[in-house]
Amino acid sequence: MVYRVAYDKDAGYPLNHLHTSIAKAFVGDWGIRAASEAVQIFGGYGFIHEYPVERMLRDAKLAQIGGGTSEVQRFIISRLMSF
């Protein structure tokens, strides 16, 4: 999904807002799931600053907040799908 949106942008096609918001929401939600699972696998080491895993969870969280939150992406998706 992400590569498709990036490919279209690189190729100069008009931005498909539905695809873009779906990709953004998907990346945020699955990034959190993957990073959270990584923290769980590392156990206590996943939580402390000495290892980069806790940072990955925080970084993943930004994808749900920055550049339009997940809630806003779902807003956009539902509006575009209702046309």
Out of 1, 6, 34, 62, name the contact with ligand FAD by CB under 6 A.
Answer: 62
Cα 31 from Cα 60, distance rounded (Å):
5
- Residue 79 binds ligand FAD (CB under 6 A): no
- List binders of ligand FAD among 10-39 (CB under 6 A): none
Out of 32, 38, 72, 76, name the contact with ligand FAD by CB under 6 A.
Answer: 72
Cα 33 from Cα 35, distance rounded (Å):
6
Out of 2, 34, 65, 81, name the contact with ligand FAD by CB under 6 A.
Answer: 65
Out of 71, 78, 79, 81, name the contact with ligand FAD by CB under 6 A.
Answer: 71
